[in-house]
Amino acid sequence: MIVHTLRFAFKDGTSEEQKAHVLALMRRTAAIESVSFATVGQSLSDPAEGFTHAYCVGIEDLAALERYMHDPVHLAGDPEILPHLDRLAIGPDLSDDMNPELAAELMALHEKKATMYPEWAAQVEPLLDIRVATPGASRS
C-alpha cells in the first residue's frame, strides 16, 4: 500500500463556496477505482506551518498509482483545483512495501507525468512548499 498525502492552503480571497467546490473535486478524485481509501478535510498539522487542509489516498501498488495519476477524473480536476491553492506540501508519503527503490520508482512515475502534461507540471511546481516537503516531493 502506498499512502500519498498532501497538505495545502487556499489563496487569500478564496470564497467558502470555491473552497467547497475544490474539496468536492478532490473527493471526486479520491473516489476513482485505483484508490483503496481516502480522506479530504482539515489539516491537523502544526497551524504555524500554514496548512489548513489535507488530502490523503491509499493506493494498492505502483500499477494502481500509475492509473490514479493518469485517470481522466484526476486529470480533469487538477486544472480546476490548482488555481485556488496558495501552498502545497507533498508527504510525508509512506508505504508498507519495503522495496528500497520504491521512492525512485514513484519519482519516475511523477517525471513521466510531468513530461506528458507540462502544463500540469507548470501549475504544480510553484505551489510546492519545499521547506516542509519530502524528497521526491513533486508527485501529485
Quick one: pLDDT at residue 138? 43
Cα distance between residue 82 and residue 96, in whole Å: 29
Quick one: pLDDT at residue 133? 46
Quick one: pLDDT at residue 132? 52
Quick one: pLDDT at residue 8? 97
Enter the C-alpha cell of residue 76.
480533469
Quick one: pLDDT at residue 131? 56
**Tens-of-pLDDT digits for all 140 residues of the chain?**
999 999 999 999 999 999 999 999 999 999 999 999 999 999 999 999 999 999 999 999 999 999 999 999 999 999 999 999 999 999 889 999 999 999 999 999 999 999 999 999 999 999 998 655 444 444 44
Quick one: pLDDT at residue 129? 82
